[in-house]
Amino acid sequence: MIVWAINLFVLSVGILIIGLIKPKWLLFWMDQPNRFIIAGVSVILFMAAAIMFGEGNKQGAPLSEVVQTAKPAATESPSDLVK
């Protein structure tokens, strides 16, 4: 989740920079695009990235490490349980 948050942060910064320089590139359907809309969208994406980063840090271990952990070996076989 932290990787997704970093990607979303980079996307929001890219949208902000491109939108402040050339707002017509991002808001191509509008006749008179303004920078306020682009700043608002960038702020919303930035806040979403910050929330995702915080939730990712609250997790105990990343999911990739949880999936790759070795399963505990069974000490008893099913035939030992039947008497």
Buried b (16+ CB within 10 A) or exposed e, 40-71: ebbeebbeebeebbeebeeeeeeeeeeeeeee
pLDDT at 28: 86
pLDDT band at 50 (very low <50, low <70, confident <90, very high): very high
What gap in Å lies between CA 59 and CA 54, rounded to an integer?
A: 9
Residue pair 5/47 in contact (Cβ under 8 Å)? The answer is: no
What gap in Å lies between CA 68 and CA 34, rounded to an integer?
A: 48
pTM: 0.64
